[in-house]
Structure 1
């Protein structure tokens, strides 16, 4: 029997529940707060329509961060903002919940206000101090901690997605790519970031990565480009992964409703 979407309060967070599993309470309790906004986590498969969400949330929020993948590009967030007459922040890509952090894969958070143009706010919330300066391209894939530099066409490993985010410096995880390609990609980053970044080898020789760091900083302040191996070698899976990362059940692109 199909379970109709309904609201529950768990760990101080509003969760829209249905047939899909809800995120663990540990992640819900650690969601970052923001004045005037209430996080709403959607754990429904398939994802609810804008009309269903508007009915469920009517009169319950003064502003919300909607944790529902692609809600900023399929009309749901815009419809909610206009119908509820409240600001709504939603992701343009696949949303990930991590301990004390929210991240959008292949996209960013966008703020909608009734009758106003949407405003992009970056992929990470809360935003680390380096987020605005970060650049990425074909060889550099955004991850919560910073950037993944890996073989072309390969997915980002699960344990790379769960690395801790450092507010004071960007982390670049270097996978098994030829050193000349790695150096060329890293030289596209702004100069201040190159001097402050943390390079983490993943499936590649730490000595090689250290040499890459020395070369891209041109010998200046080499100790500030630190190398550290990623702990663990297997993608995150099983019960431990459930507490480290959660993807909303609606992690697909829906057409506007």
Structure 2
């Protein structure tokens, strides 16, 4: 079939594009199934995992191009790799949703205990000092304790929701801040930002600071911006003392990126 004939077929059979998009969605959990499913022992090595991921990403690239023929091959490759990686990152939360009675990881038990201290008198019968480590994190984790008697499964689900929701909200406000007109770059940037936040990862109670500043800081509204930075700095200082200057640094970065220095004296620009 000629190139013109192929393009005509795509226009005449839109269901082929929908089918390609559907197949791509069905392809997303395959890598997770390979490395976490019954064949996981065959994909323990970095080489085998890399080969599997590259092949699946290549297949996803072809499907994306079939579904969205206007996309360049480079954009299709980037989209395929990005969505494959994000699907795997989300799937890594599945083992954390468990009724297993003992700790699933480092300090998990102590984190739930510190969160329970906000309701120590009701739970333990006496008041006890709160943890000086990550108190804002444990405040957020304490929400399930509002309902007495919830099993550990509920607390684990809540923590997974905190990770996903606050990382997603951070990515969302970043996209809003940049005000991208084209929906596809906005979507890809949001998904990339979500995945990027898990490279560390950045703890969800610290993302509250980023969300507040990126969302509410406005170079044209001094007093509101000042209150936002002060409130975020207070939360940062309680969360981790070394994060105390972060809200001010974020606000400064936004200011330098959004306000031109051209035609202004340096001191007037900085002040």
Tell me whether the two structures share a fold, i.e. TM-score over 0.5: no
Larger Rg: 2
* TM-score (norm. length: structure 2): 0.28
* TM-score (norm. length: structure 1): 0.29
Which is strand-richer, 1 or 2? 1
Which is helix-richer, 1 or 2? 2
